[in-house]
Structure 1
Amino acid sequence: MKKTTIIVHQNYIERVIKNLHENGMMEIVDISKEDQELLKTTEIASTHPDAESCATYVLRLSRIIGILKKIKPKKSGLKSIFNPELPELKIVEDRNIDEMYSYAEGILSEIERKILERDEKLNTLNEKIELINHDIKQLNYIKEFEFDISDIGLSDYLFIKTGITNDIDKLTKEIKTIEKSLIFSKQFGSRKKAEWSVLIAAHISEKDNVEKICRENISEFNFNVTSGSPKELLTLLQKDKKEIENTKKKIISELRAFAKEQLEDLFALREEIQLEKIKREVQRNFAKTSSSYIIKGWVLEKNIDRLKESVENASKGYASCSFETPSTNPDNPPVYLRTPEWAKAFRTFLDLFATPRYNEIDPMIFMGIFFVLFFGIMLGDAGYGLILLILSIFGYVKFSKFSETIKNWSFMGIWLAIVTIVVGVLTNSFFGDLIQRFIFHNPDQQLYNLTLFGIDLPVNSLRNPLTILVIALLFGLIHLNVGIILAIYQTYKNKRFKELVTKHLSWVPLQIGGGMLIGSFLMHLWDLGNLEFYLSGILVIIGLILRLIDAGPLGLFDITGYIGDWLSYARLLALGLATTGMALAFNIVAEIIPDMIPLVGIIFTPIILVFAHTVNLGLQTLGAGVHSLRLQYVEFFNRFYEGGGKKFEPFSIKRKYTKTEEVK
């Protein structure tokens, strides 16, 4: 990565910006934030005047697009999942901003007013339908009452109220205490859901008493219509609603015609103007003198010559480029991350933790390999792996052209599934003991028998958990030591030799010497001769001295922390046993159901198996993913990785709805 400064004559600034945007080689930084010293002799450049006009057109187009996109028919259900729509790429020519304005104005003058008017009318009709539905809902409660809606409220002699209550007995009792009053009611629903529509009429002199009772006991109706009997109004409102719905259909049909004819063009036009807007807004990151602009940023070292040549061509020689090697501090250069196609999904996992700093090791490849391995061990069932493999292959084949994210995650899923299948085959697990229990009718039978390098396969994880634990701890030791090796390489690369020896290399003699002693005296795996005993003791002492030099007495606590990190890999066994154990339990339940429930139980058996194993697959897949990540983030990264960098993001064109016309 090189720190770049471009000085260009003001007459050629737009040509240079266009060139930088199209080439996408340089990340432009904001000089006002990155180089305050430069601003003592220069000033901040202002945004190009056309940026505001671009923003206005983008806003107008976005408003029209929002209306048409909302109204356009969409695929639903399985169609939307298995056959989603891709945006149609429109070929666009290279044209100047005035031509874009002219084209945009031509389209907008033709359709903007028509679409906005129809959208406004549609909103008005929707509001009317809401009011009608509100009235219809309330009128249905009182349609059996013979009276005119206009009578509700206060008249010369009567005071009338309508509404709904949940306690008709209480309301009736209180109304009867009032002289010159009547109450009519009709029940809707039953039991706990019972409610009553009521019509209360009283002499005007009892107005205050009636209002008090109504406030406490009923939810009053509020109508938008002013006169007519409930039955007449219901008929009239249904007719009005039907007419409004027909008008709505006509407007929607017209808007959909606009969407079919214009939407793709509008998307493309908006994208073109957005790109022009970006080019004009980027100037606010520059510094300016009386006759020139100063642009600062970052460029990959391999692109230096190309950038210099393209800038000189664009400015016709009225520009100069300078490059300098950055320092990690205070420059804090961005990081260019190379990601292989197969590992793109793992980049997301690393981004969730932290981006590598400049000149720091990118651990993504190592993380990806161990994540796949640990996931497969923890899920560890060939049947579940087969389901994941089928789903992943289907996602990759069917959806990769629609979504880069689905493509990358499906590809990762294929590898996760393959390792899971391999581990399941090695540990005699296919949906637990489904085959042995329901096909062989012998849960103790092995799926196969094979001796490889003196090891009898398969290894039953439920009956030989110690074997799996040893394998898990060996993988943990490998994982931790890969982290230590990366830390040694990192500190050597950065020439921090004291840290290399005391902080990282100290773990090598500690592990070798400590392992020899523990294996001999605690685990009785081997016998040490005098020479081996003294050698292992010397290695431990050297390691301890180096730890003390690095962190003082607290360095000794790092040893227990390291052991704790190592033992944390026992979760590989724990989650593997959980998967197999739960699958086994579900199989046993499904097996005994027919005996517990004759005849009907036979029907329930496959239902229970499918449901239970689906739930187990979901839970264990989530657990395996989370715990595999945890081993990367905590145990592995703790050995060498800090993060805290920022990605290299060049000033470049990003298109979704358009593509440039190919020059033949």
Structure 2
Amino acid sequence: MLFPSKMVEVEILVHNSVKYNVLKTMQRNGFMHITQHNVEGLENAAPSDVATEIVDYEFRVGKLIEILNIAKERKKTGLLASLQTEPPERFPARPRDREEILKDAESTLRKIEPQILTLYSRWEGVNGEIERIKIQRLQVEKLKNIPIDISYLGEGPYAYIVAGTAKNLERLEKLKKEGKIALWSFTEGKKKDVTYTIVLASHMKDKKDVESALRFAGFSEFELGGWSGLPNEVLKAMDKKIGELRKERDKIRNELGVFRRKYYPYLSVLKDDLYNEKVKEEIHSKFGRTHYTTLVRGFIPKKDFDRAKNAIESVSRGLAYIKWRDAQGDDVPVKYNNAKIFRPFQAFVDMYSTPKYGHIDPTVIIAPLFVIYFGLTLGDAGYGMIMAVLGFIMWKPLGKYNWTNRTLGSILFVSGLSAVVFGLLQGGIFGPLNESNPLYPLVHYKPVLDPMQDPITLLVISLIVGVFQLSLGLALGAFHHLKDKNYAEFLQAEVSWFVLFPAGGALIGYYFGWWPLQGTYLTLAWIFTVIGLFLFLPGVASKMVDRKASINGLFFFDITGMIGDWLSYSRLLALDLATSGLALTINILAGIIWSMTKGASSMVCCLPVLLAGVALALLWMRKKDPMKKGIIILLLIFGIVGMVNLHAAIWLFVGIFLVVGHIGNSMLQALGSFVHSLRLQYVEFFSKFYEGDGVKFEPFREIRKHSRLEVKE
């Protein structure tokens, strides 16, 4: 599991008469990652003559599916509905050859495309008309206070009347004073965002002067042609028209629903068939060709090679030549080879960079370390349980048909359980289990390690963990350097540190008084420290292997860098203390609130709250705001409950404060634990050995989003 799957580089020379049979088998089984042929002088293959026809059919069928989805039943809304994920619509299909698929596409489109497109044109027209009237309705709303017949707007034999919005009324006011126009205006907005809704009437002989003034005013005219009557009458007429159009739209949706129930499964299967035929044509750009043959190059996992070879030979009827060898080089794709339990953590490796082929895949190493670090830094059983429940919901209900939710949810679930274990060991359940914790009367015990009382022990553990992981990273780096016969880098980058860690550590502990070190042991510690520094000096190890190499004296920065990486593991303590400290603060504040209000009367505590809720409710009724609605409801509840029973109101307020505070803190600290646990892998650990920029294994395979094959060839 430490290395990706072994790959085989394969070249297949196939006669053109059986080429599509071979491609169909390769696509159906999905065992080969296809790459550029890379043969000098060999011409690239071109798509077949029907490629354009396939693309056209696929686009048109996709458009029909999109139109028919207008009639798809609306999903239920709400929390329970969001947790009840439905499987994607996938319909049974059977294997078909290209000729049958194209014939089917042609006859199906000829039969139903004109009818569906006609319905869609009507649908678009009705929707456009509804939106147009909605815009006009907003314009008429602005004119409600002006008793003018809307049909008067426009040009007449003698009068010019317009309505709209303007930014500046300076020149219009001047024309009004001169008696050239009649002007009605209403102000909207404040300060720099002021706009004016205006209605202007003038004689036709003054039209040019009026138009000039309107341009200067930044005038935008209302388009209200076709309507007549006073504004209130027009608004009623508009509402009636919108209602009629909506009924017409529902009628069209029902007609589309008839087509959907009858043809949607059929079109979905056809769409997938055409898409996979299109992919067969697009992949030709990677093939080489001669007059009669096609060359396909790619990579197959070694364990699947015999099965793939037999399948290709079977469908090619002896007209395919297969050449293969063990894969080597930078273009070899990487297929992970991890047990099921570790697969979600492959996403972390991909987020950083896919490993190079033949190099270490660290998934099985970082998976347990990430879970441990997350649990240690969150360090609270209550918060861990919240994360575990949230992770389970994402993993099971929400992740059943969603890879992202399933992957992240499973990681969060396991990490949350880790936080529960470490929280119990550290005595943290929604904060330290001391007198300020509401759970103290029910649960209290002496923790194995309390970070608030004994942070030094946890710091030592964090640094020991750091030494372990950094040493593991160096060991993995040493493995690669020895494998590649890069002995100079092996001596400088790994052996030097394996000598410095114990020798330098022994000297540091001795001079800080942590342990005794005398006689021969002290001498050996100094000797090995000097040897380690000597090997670490850039260029010395290279000089030992190659006398022409030069020595670089800037090694001091590499030493400080390693020390910085080691000390970075102290964040495990810092994040743990942050979680406990903020949780403790929330509990103390809740206690202070309780003690401050314990002796107060209902009139002092709750009457002002009730009055504030009533006052805000009256203001809200004038201008409804969803955000303020929640605050108003809470104020009214607290006020009413408090007037009846003060203690019940206080308990309710403190309870809500604790729930909101701890949930908010758990989310904040979980995010920090997630990011910093991952950072220790990426920055401190991967830098010691990891080789990224690999190519991910992406097999040429059949993709079916809307259908499923019930019979395989």
Name the TM-score, length of structure 1 as normaliser. 0.89
Residues of 2 paired with 1:545 and 1:187: CA distance?
Answer: 82
Structure 1 residues 400 and 137: CA distance shift in structure 2, 3 A = closer
Q: Does 1:9 align with 2:15?
A: yes
Residues of 2 paired with 1:273 and 1:501: CA distance?
Answer: 58
Structure 1 residues 441 and 8: CA distance shift in structure 2, 3 A = closer
Residue pairs, 1:490-569, within 5 angstroms: 490-522=480-512, 524-548=513-537, 549-550=540-541, 552-569=552-569
SS of the equivalent of 2:334 reads: coil
Residues of 1 paired with 2:87 and 2:663: CA distance?
Answer: 32
**Per-residue CA distance 1:138-170 (angstroms, 9 max, x = gap):** 2233355444445434444434333356899x7
Alpha-carbon offset, residue 347 of structure 1: 1.1
* Greater shift in the superposed pair: 305-314 or 595-604: 595-604
SS of the equivalent of 1:398 reads: coil
SS of the equivalent of 1:299 reads: strand
Q: Please say if residues 185 and 197 of structure 2, whose CA atoms lie closer than 8 Å, have aligned partners that are also in contact.
A: yes
Q: Please say if residues 569 and 631 of structure 1, whose CA atoms lie closer than 8 Å, have aligned partners that are also in contact.
A: yes
What corresponds to 1:471 in structure 2?
461
Structure 1 residues 285 and 164: CA distance shift in structure 2, 3 A = closer
Q: Please say if residues 57 and 273 of structure 1, whose CA atoms lie closer than 8 Å, have aligned partners that are also in contact.
A: yes
Unpaired runs of at least 5, structure 1: 450-456
- Counterpart code for 1:4: V
Structure 1 residues 593 and 533: CA distance shift in structure 2, 3 A = same
What corresponds to 1:621 in structure 2?
670
Q: Does 1:447 align with 2:444?
A: yes
What corresponds to 2:704 in structure 1?
655
Q: Does 1:74 align with 2:74?
A: yes
SS of the equivalent of 1:320 reads: strand
Residues of 2 paired with 1:227 and 1:661: CA distance?
Answer: 59
* Greater shift in the superposed pair: 232-241 or 565-574: 232-241
* Greater shift in the superposed pair: 611-620 or 653-662: 653-662
Residues of 1 paired with 2:223 and 2:154: CA distance?
Answer: 12
What corresponds to 2:143 in structure 1?
142
Q: Please say if residues 382 and 423 of structure 1, whose CA atoms lie closer than 8 Å, have aligned partners that are also in contact.
A: yes
Residues of 2 paired with 1:373 and 1:386: CA distance?
Answer: 15
Residues of 2 paired with 1:525 and 1:628: CA distance?
Answer: 29
Residue pairs, 1:308-457, within 5 angstroms: 308-328=309-329, 332-433=331-432, 436-439=435-438, 447-449=444-446, 457=447
- Counterpart code for 2:479: Y
- Counterpart code for 1:476: G
SS of the equivalent of 1:4 reads: strand
Q: Please say if residues 27 and 650 of structure 1, whose CA atoms lie closer than 8 Å, have aligned partners that are also in contact.
A: yes
Alpha-carbon offset, residue 225 of structure 1: 1.5
Structure 1 residues 402 and 208: CA distance shift in structure 2, 3 A = same
SS of the equivalent of 2:9 reads: strand
Q: Please say if residues 374 and 673 of structure 2, whose CA atoms lie closer than 8 Å, have aligned partners that are also in contact.
A: yes
Residue pairs, 1:31-110, within 5 angstroms: 31=37, 35=38, 38-40=39-41, 42-75=42-75, 76-78=77-79, 80-110=81-111
Structure 1 residues 619 and 70: CA distance shift in structure 2, 3 A = farther
Q: Please say if residues 30 and 285 of structure 1, whose CA atoms lie closer than 8 Å, have aligned partners that are also in contact.
A: yes
Structure 1 residues 47 and 629: CA distance shift in structure 2, 3 A = same
* Greater shift in the superposed pair: 612-621 or 171-180: 171-180
SS of the equivalent of 2:33 reads: strand
Q: Does 1:595 align with 2:601?
A: no
- Counterpart code for 1:527: P
- The number of equivalent residue pairs is 645
SS of the equivalent of 1:344 reads: helix
Alpha-carbon offset, residue 239 of structure 1: 3.2
Q: Please say if residues 427 and 433 of structure 2, whose CA atoms lie closer than 8 Å, have aligned partners that are also in contact.
A: no
Residues of 1 paired with 2:556 and 2:172: CA distance?
Answer: 83
Unpaired runs of at least 5, structure 2: 1-6, 542-550, 601-645
Q: Please say if residues 162 and 201 of structure 2, whose CA atoms lie closer than 8 Å, have aligned partners that are also in contact.
A: yes
Residues of 2 paired with 1:193 and 1:552: CA distance?
Answer: 65
Q: Aligned match of 1:25 in 21, 26, 31? A: 31
**Per-residue CA distance 1:92-141 (angstroms, 9 max, x = gap):** 22221121123223332332222211111111112212222222222233
Q: Please say if residues 3 and 297 of structure 1, whose CA atoms lie closer than 8 Å, have aligned partners that are also in contact.
A: yes
Residues of 2 paired with 1:146 and 1:565: CA distance?
Answer: 77
* Greater shift in the superposed pair: 612-621 or 18-27: 18-27
- Counterpart code for 1:529: Q
Structure 1 residues 156 and 116: CA distance shift in structure 2, 3 A = closer
Alpha-carbon offset, residue 591 of structure 1: 1.4
Residue pairs, 1:226-241, within 5 angstroms: 226=226, 228-231=228-231, 232-241=233-242
Q: Aligned match of 1:636 in 673, 685, 708? A: 685
Alpha-carbon offset, residue 350 of structure 1: 0.9
Alpha-carbon offset, residue 441 of structure 1: 6.2
Residues of 2 paired with 1:209 and 1:289: CA distance?
Answer: 78
- Counterpart code for 1:504: E
Residues of 2 paired with 1:448 and 1:344: CA distance?
Answer: 38
- Counterpart code for 1:7: L
Alpha-carbon offset, residue 494 of structure 1: 2.8
**Per-residue CA distance 1:360-419 (angstroms, 9 max, x = gap):** 111111111211111111111111001111222333332343223322322222220121
Residues of 2 paired with 1:351 and 1:259: CA distance?
Answer: 40
Q: Please say if residues 175 and 183 of structure 1, whose CA atoms lie closer than 8 Å, have aligned partners that are also in contact.
A: no
Residues of 1 paired with 2:650 and 2:219: CA distance?
Answer: 51
- Counterpart code for 1:57: Y
SS of the equivalent of 1:268 reads: helix
**Per-residue CA distance 1:334-361 (angstroms, 9 max, x = gap):** 2221132222221111111111112111
Q: Does 1:611 align with 2:660?
A: yes
- Counterpart code for 1:403: N
Residues of 2 paired with 1:211 and 1:8: CA distance?
Answer: 76
Structure 1 residues 64 and 381: CA distance shift in structure 2, 3 A = same
Q: Please say if residues 376 and 576 of structure 2, whose CA atoms lie closer than 8 Å, have aligned partners that are also in contact.
A: yes
Structure 1 residues 234 and 171: CA distance shift in structure 2, 3 A = farther
What corresponds to 1:113 in structure 2?
114
Q: Please say if residues 148 and 227 of structure 1, whose CA atoms lie closer than 8 Å, have aligned partners that are also in contact.
A: no
SS of the equivalent of 1:659 reads: strand
Q: Please say if residues 583 and 613 of structure 1, whose CA atoms lie closer than 8 Å, have aligned partners that are also in contact.
A: yes
Residues of 1 paired with 2:683 and 2:370: CA distance?
Answer: 13
Residues of 2 paired with 1:297 and 1:192: CA distance?
Answer: 65
Q: Please say if residues 428 and 446 of structure 1, whose CA atoms lie closer than 8 Å, have aligned partners that are also in contact.
A: no
Residues of 2 paired with 1:446 and 1:559: CA distance?
Answer: 47
Q: Please say if residues 178 and 206 of structure 1, whose CA atoms lie closer than 8 Å, have aligned partners that are also in contact.
A: no
Residues of 1 paired with 2:198 and 2:378: CA distance?
Answer: 63
Residues of 2 paired with 1:441 and 1:95: CA distance?
Answer: 69
* Greater shift in the superposed pair: 527-536 or 628-637: 527-536
Alpha-carbon offset, residue 658 of structure 1: 2.4
Alpha-carbon offset, residue 181 of structure 1: 4.3
* Greater shift in the superposed pair: 102-111 or 365-374: 102-111
Alpha-carbon offset, residue 429 of structure 1: 1.1
Alpha-carbon offset, residue 12 of structure 1: 1.9
Query: Percent same amino acid at aligned positions?
Result: 33
Structure 1 residues 390 and 586: CA distance shift in structure 2, 3 A = same
**CA RMSD in angstroms, aligned pairs only:** 2.9
Q: Aligned match of 1:458 in 423, 431, 448? A: 448
Residues of 2 paired with 1:643 and 1:418: CA distance?
Answer: 31
